């Protein structure tokens, strides 16, 4: 299950509930929820991948500086 599917699974009930009520301002709220969810997923991904990503970038930078 990809990140996009998780985001859609999380947002779908909220969007359905908002569409059944008054639609005024629903798009702004949907985008806000989506933005917050993407930010949380990005922070969690950086927590898990941050160390290996920093190590990989350090190695790449070192190989560029000292060919």
What pLDDT shows up at residue 46? 83
Q: Which domain holds residue 61?
A: 3-65
- pLDDT for 12 equals 78
Phi and psi, residue 21, nearest 5°: -95, -160
Going by the DSSP 8-state scheme, the letter that residue 25 receives in this structure is: T
Greater confidence (3 vs 45) lies with 45
- Token pair recorded at residue 58: 């350090």
pLDDT in tens, 19-56: 665 656 667 888 888 899 999 998 888 888 877 777 88
- In the chain, how many domains are there? 1
Q: Note whether 10 and 1 are within 8 A (CB).
A: no
1 pLDDT higher than 60? no
What pLDDT was estimated at residue 18? 66
- How many whole angstroms separate alpha carbon 38 and alpha carbon 64? 32
């Amino acid at each position: 299950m990809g990140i996009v599917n998780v985001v859609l699974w999380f947002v779908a009930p909220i969007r359905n509930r908002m569409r059944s009520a008054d639609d005024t301002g629903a798009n702004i709220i949907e985008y806000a929820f989506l933005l917050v969810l993407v930010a949380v997923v990005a922070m969690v991904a950086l927590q898990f991948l941050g160390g290996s990503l920093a190590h990989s970038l350090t190695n790449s930078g070192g190989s560029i500086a000292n060919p």
